[in-house]
Amino acid sequence: MLAIKNNIMAANAARHLGRSYDALAKSVERLSSGLRINSAKDDAAGLAVRELIRADVAQLSQAQRNAADGISMIQTGEGAMGEIDSILIRMKELAEQASTGSYSSAQRVIMNAEYAELSAEITRIAQSTDFNENELLNSTTAINIHVKSGNITITPEVMDATTLGVNTTLATKETWANLKTVASAANEYIGSGEITNGGIEEFTFQFGSETAYTITLGAYEATGISLNELVDVINTQVDEQNGTFAAYAAATALYNSTYQSYSLQIQALAGGVAALAVTSGANSIDLLDATGDFTELIDGAAGSGNSLVKAASAAAALTAIEAAINTKDTYRAKLGYWMNRLEAAESVLGIQAENLLIAESRISDVDVATEMATMTRTQVLAQAGVAMLAQANAMPQMALTLLR
């Protein structure tokens, strides 16, 4: 029917052109975004599945990072354990050295001092090693590394010197001071008459069961002896009798700032020994004939842990160090297999995330080849629609020829 009021052909062509244009717009959107699903109306069910997959991928990626952080944390502890390992080896070397009889007591004191410093360093390392405030060598609190569906539990252990059994607390040295005082250490301390009284020129002292020392002052029977000279004589004769310089005892001139005076001080160099004992009797110098002639300044207390000051205690320290190395190795092995487990978990999480990404891509990503073919088809349809709309718009013009 030829009509001029309603152009049905134009309306029909416009409707088809609009559908082609919408399809073309959708293809352009998909190709420019790279996604097949850009809104819920594109594929409601597919969008829901895609978002769930994306959430799982994000969780898996974070779990993978959790595992990597856990590995870094354990590596921090394992690195510190490596230093403790080196220290224990040196401590064992020192204990072996101090166990032999070819070294003097004074030399063992030096070895023991190094041993004590190394022991303190083990404790410092254990107490200062942490990762994000998680103590790895000074705690037994479990640390859970969450890897999506569960935890990998890391249980730290205390690795300080005390727990390892290689600690050493320096003992207090027993110290005594003679009651006699002089204004200056250079002043006469024992007169000649006192030295020759009864023909006795010596006195004997010892600390507990340690070496007893007999000090002879015959060279000063005519002149007397000053405090400084007496200190030198005691230290020299202790050296001669024991074979080492002041191995278990040493004398010094003690200054009293309150009374501005000096007196003889005798101190045990090996800490934790029993009190001073001085020989008394008719054959002793009166001034130094009994423990009652001295006052105790410091009551020596025994130290704890290992000691290298004697060959026997150094040999015992070897056993303790061997046990400490075994304890350390056991914990270090735990750190190793925890790292291996976390590395395996990290790898599996990466594979899971990759597979989920593939699934998400199949649902969400646009197939460029297919979509390009669709776009080409809709372009042709749109061009045809435009042409046909132009023709339909020209149809009412034909009615005018009948009206002329």
- Summarised one tens digit per residue, pLDDT across range 12-45 is 888 888 888 888 888 888 888 888 888 887 788 8
Burial of 45 (0-12, 13-18, 19+ CB in 10 A): exposed
What's the average model confidence in pLDDT over 343-361?
Answer: 91
For residue 50, is pLDDT > 50? yes
For residue 282, is pLDDT > 70? no
Q: Which CATH superfamily is domain 53-169+309-352 in?
A: f41 fragment of flagellin, N-terminal domain (1.20.1330.10)
pLDDT at position 72, please?
95
pLDDT at position 245, please?
44
- Summarised one tens digit per residue, pLDDT across range 316-347 is 899 999 999 999 999 999 999 999 999 999 99
Position with higher pLDDT, 391 vs 159 = 159
pLDDT at position 311, please?
85
Burial of 129 (0-12, 13-18, 19+ CB in 10 A): buried
- Summarised one tens digit per residue, pLDDT across range 200-218 is 778 889 988 888 888 988 8
Beta bridge partners of 254: 263
**CA proximity to 147, closest of 59, 73, 58:** 59
- Summarised one tens digit per residue, pLDDT across range 176-203 is 999 999 999 999 999 988 887 766 778 8
Q: What is the pTM of this model?
A: 0.63
What's the average model confidence in pLDDT over 230-259?
Answer: 81
Contact 2, 398 (CB under 8 A): yes
pLDDT at position 240, please?
82
Cα–Cα distance for residue pair 41/20, rounded to 1 Å? 18
The three-state (H, E, C) secondary structure of the chain, written as one string = CCCCCCCHHHHHHHHHHHHHHHHHHHHHHHHHHCECCCCCCCCHHHHHHHHHHHHHHHHHHHHHHHHHHHHHHHHHHHHHHHHHHHHHHHHHHHHHHHHCCCCCHHHHHHHHHHHHHHHHHHHHHHHHCEECCEECCCCCCCEEEECCCCEEEECCCCCCHHHHCCCECCCCCCEEEECCCECCCCCEEECHHHHHHHHCCEEEEEECCCCCEEEECHHHCCCCEEHHHHHHHHHHHHHHHHCCCCCCEEEEEEEECCCCEEEEEEEECCCCCCCEEECCCCCCCHHHCCHHHEEEEECCCCCCECCCCCHHHHHHHHHHHHHHHHHHHHHHHHHHHHHHHHHHHHHHHHHHHHHHHHHHHHHHECCHHHHHHHHHHHHHHHHHHHHHHHHHHHCHHHHHHHHC
Domain boundaries, the chain: 53-169+309-352, 175-298
